[in-house]
């Protein structure tokens, strides 16, 4: 058996931080197979260099501007990932009280935390006010009223930005589109001015900005420009009404390369957006942005072991030890992730559906993939840094995977593999009085 050269290796999203060397897959300067032997599979491996490189593109695009990059915690909320961005100077964008606690544990300055989300509870609001967060992105009139009530109980004022739904098509999957009038997010564009007037009348609120987020995995420039124009029209109307806005929050949503997509680079996109901002006369406004996927998506892989090769009359199946509980995006969105061998070997290939062991027909990681693989081989599911571990579950009483962070030739386990005992720790068996009689 011969070893293929790197020239015949499959394309890897996330290069140069993920690459083949001597026919073996490496993350930065660490062998993937060595990590899998040491920590088992399924195993998430993240490149810190890839994260910081993606962040640098945003910094270049926003250079010279008053801007705060708030990493969207929901994309990947692992503590060490949050610390990577906080220590690099980022703020954080959160959507729950739990994420708020994570953000503080990661060392985030509460004044650099933005609280988004359509369903903040009174307890969430109270905790955020007590900590002194930078801004609430408010998404409805009832939320404005409840937040005002909570502030009155605490004797504080809440800095608020209203999330406006501009009714702009982000041209992405309908489950991750958020800027159309039929979506649950934000305040309708034609109702926003009245909402600002109402917010400004409430004694417990301080109106400080405007927010817009149109969706996720956006791969074109046009939706951003369209949304910016709609938002700036509203900024002009709100300020003409006597309500000053200190910042404009343009959200996140920039896509990544999963299957050869070519989204605009963050620095190029922001050069165009800032040009439009200046043309419209709002270049002096402070800016907030909330990238998530574009910072971490291509910074991660999930390593999985091939368990069984099952040949059928019409389909061939490759059964692996990772499943929909580890990698929910294919089951949820029919999302594509490249699947590549950890070791390049010269053997016959077949077309497989790559599936997991969970008892659901929806438990698949990739369909119709040509792979040269045998039982016991390791595969890497690419572009799994975002919306994989953060959405993982314990379905079928499967423990969540371990996570490892790589920086150059240094590695750290940032999450231990979850055991069954970990899952059962909060459960209680039947009390004697509730046991069924036989």
315 and 239 share one domain: no
Residue 94 lies in a domain: no
245 and 367 share one domain: no
Phi (first) and psi of residue 41, to 5 degrees: -130, 160
| 110 labeled part of a ligand binding site | no
314 and 419 share one domain: yes
Measured between alpha carbons, how far is 174 from 162 in angstroms, rounded to an integer? 23
Where in the sequence numbering do the catalytic residues fall?
Answer: 359
361 and 390 share one domain: yes
304 and 164 share one domain: no
Tokens 């998430």 correspond to 44
Q: Looking at residue 384, what DSSP letter applies?
A: -
Let me know: does 409 contact 28? Beta carbons within 8 Å.
Answer: yes
pLDDT given for residue 178 in this prediction: 45
pLDDT given for residue 90 in this prediction: 98
- Average pLDDT of the segment spanning 270-289: 95
**Lowest pLDDT segment from 17-21, 57-61, 175-179, 236-240:** 175-179
Q: Looking at residue 208, which CATH number applies to its domain?
A: 3.20.20.10
pTM of the shown model: 0.94
270 and 159 share one domain: yes
pLDDT given for residue 126 in this prediction: 98
pLDDT given for residue 4 in this prediction: 55
Q: 169 is written with which tokens? A: 């098509």
Residue 167 lies in a domain: yes
| 387 labeled part of a ligand binding site | yes
Taking Cα atoms as reference points, which of 43, 49, 21 lies closest to residue 410?
49
Assess whether pLDDT exceeds 70 at residue 158. yes
Q: What pairing do the DSSP bridges indicate for beta strands 378-382 and 300-311? A: antiparallel
Residue 66 lies in a domain: no
Assess whether pLDDT exceeds 70 at residue 181. no
Assess whether pLDDT exceeds 50 at residue 303. yes
Residue 99 lies in a domain: no
| 329 labeled part of a ligand binding site | yes
For the chain, the straight-line distance linking the first and the last C-alpha, in angstroms and rounded, comes to 63
Taking Cα atoms as reference points, which of 180, 182, 192, 385 lies closest to residue 291?
385
- Average pLDDT of the segment spanning 336-352: 96
Taking Cα atoms as reference points, which of 324, 321, 372 lies closest to residue 351?
372
Residue 254 lies in a domain: yes
276 and 353 share one domain: no
Measured between alpha carbons, how far is 247 from 73 in angstroms, rounded to an integer? 21
Last residue of a domain, one of 269, 289, 309: 289
- 179 by Cβ neighbours in 10 Å (0-12 / 13-18 / 19+) ranks as buried
The total number of structural domains in the chain stands at 2
Would the CA dihedral through 100, 103, 107, 113 be positive or negative? negative
Let me know: does 70 contact 289? Beta carbons within 8 Å.
Answer: yes
Would the CA dihedral through 230, 236, 238, 243 be positive or negative? positive
- Average pLDDT of the segment spanning 366-379: 97
Q: Looking at residue 395, which CATH number applies to its domain?
A: 2.40.37.10
Residue % of the chain over a pLDDT of 90: 86
Peptide bond into 16 cis (omega under 30): yes
Residue 100 lies in a domain: no
| 143 labeled part of a ligand binding site | no
Local confidence band at 173 (pLDDT 50, 70, 90 cut-offs): very low
Last residue of a domain, one of 248, 272, 289: 289
322 and 277 share one domain: no
269 and 352 share one domain: no
Last residue of a domain, one of 289, 321, 352: 289
Residue 333 lies in a domain: yes
pLDDT in tens, 89-137: 999 999 999 999 999 999 999 999 999 999 999 999 999 999 999 999 9
| 360 labeled part of a ligand binding site | yes
The string of DSSP codes covering 296-360 is: HGGGEEEEEEEEEEEE-SS-EEEEES--TTT--HHHHH-----EEESB------EEEEEE-SSSS
Give the three-state DSSP class for 260: coil
More confident residue, 9 or 82: 82
- Average pLDDT of the segment spanning 383-393: 97
Q: 140 is written with which tokens? A: 């409805």
Taking Cα atoms as reference points, which of 41, 430, 35 lies closest to residue 25?
35
More confident residue, 224 or 76: 76
Would the CA dihedral through 113, 119, 120, 123 be positive or negative? negative
| 333 labeled part of a ligand binding site | yes
Neighbours of 201 (CB within 10 A): 10
| 336 labeled part of a ligand binding site | no
pLDDT given for residue 363 in this prediction: 96
Residue % of the chain over a pLDDT of 70: 95
pLDDT given for residue 179 in this prediction: 40
Local confidence band at 2 (pLDDT 50, 70, 90 cut-offs): very low
More confident residue, 184 or 284: 284
Residue 24 lies in a domain: yes
- Domain range for residue 277? 117-289
273 and 375 share one domain: no
Q: Which residues neighbour 21 within 8 Å (Cβ) at sequence distance 6 or greater?
A: 6
127 and 233 share one domain: yes
pLDDT given for residue 96 in this prediction: 97
309 and 283 share one domain: no
pLDDT given for residue 177 in this prediction: 44
| Contacts of the segment 112-120: beta carbons below 8 A, 24+ positions apart | 112/68, 112/70, 113/70, 114/70, 114/161, 114/249, 114/288, 114/290, 116/163, 116/211, 116/213, 116/290, 118/143, 118/184, 118/185, 120/147
């Amino acid at each position: 058996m011969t070893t293929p050269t790197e020239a015949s290796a499959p394309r890897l999203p996330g290069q140069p931080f993920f690459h083949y060397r001597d026919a073996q897959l490496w993350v930065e300067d660490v062998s993937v197979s060595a990590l899998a032997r040491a920590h088992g599979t399924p195993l998430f491996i993240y490149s810190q260099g890839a994260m910081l490189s993606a962040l640098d593109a945003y910094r270049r695009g926003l250079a010279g501007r008053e801007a705060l990059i708030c990493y969207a915690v929901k994309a990947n909320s692992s503590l060490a990932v949050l610390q990577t961005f906080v220590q690099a100077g980022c703020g954080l964008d959160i959507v729950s009280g739990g994420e708020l606690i994570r953000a503080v544990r990661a060392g985030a300055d509460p004044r650099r935390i933005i609280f988004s989300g359509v369903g903040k509870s009174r307890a969430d609001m109270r905790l955020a006010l007590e900590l002194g967060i930078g801004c609430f992105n408010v998404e409805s009139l009832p939320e404005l009223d409840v937040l005002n009530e909570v502030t009155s109980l605490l004797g504080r004022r809440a800095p608020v930005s209203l999330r406006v739904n501009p009714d702009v098509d982000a041209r992405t999957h309908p489950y991750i589109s958020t800027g159309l009038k039929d979506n649950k997010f934000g305040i309708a564009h034609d109702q926003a001015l009245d909402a600002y007037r109402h917010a400004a009348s409430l004694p417990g609120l301080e109106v400080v900005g405007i927010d817009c987020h149109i969706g996720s995995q956006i791969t074109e420039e046009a939706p951003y420009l369209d949304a910016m124009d709609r938002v700036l029209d509203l900024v002009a109307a709100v300020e003409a009404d006597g309500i000053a806005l200190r910042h404009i929050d343009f959200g996140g949503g920039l896509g990544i390369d999963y299957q050869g997509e070519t989204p605009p680079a963050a620095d190029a996109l922001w050069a165009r957006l800032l040009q439009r901002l200046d043309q419209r006369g709002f270049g002096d406004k402070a800016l907030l942005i909330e990238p998530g996927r574009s910072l971490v998506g291509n910074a991660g892989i999930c390593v999985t072991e091939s368990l069984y090769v099952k040949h059928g009359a019409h389909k061939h199946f490759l059964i692996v030890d990772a499943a929909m509980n580890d990698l929910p995006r294919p089951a949820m969105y029919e999302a594509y992730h490249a699947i590549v061998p950890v070791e390049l070997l010269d053997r016959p290939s077949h077309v497989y559906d790559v599936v997991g062991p969970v008892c659901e027909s929806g438990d698949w990681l990739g369909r119709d993939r040509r792979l040269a693989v045998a039982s016991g081989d390791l595969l890497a599911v690419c572009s799994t840094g975002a919306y994989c571990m953060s959405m993982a579950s314990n379905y079928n009483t499967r423990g969540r995977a371990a996570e490892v962070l790589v920086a150059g030739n240094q590695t750290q386990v940032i999450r231990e593999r979850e055991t069954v005992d970990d899952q059962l720790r909060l459960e209680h068996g039947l009390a004697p009085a509730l046991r069924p009689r036989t």
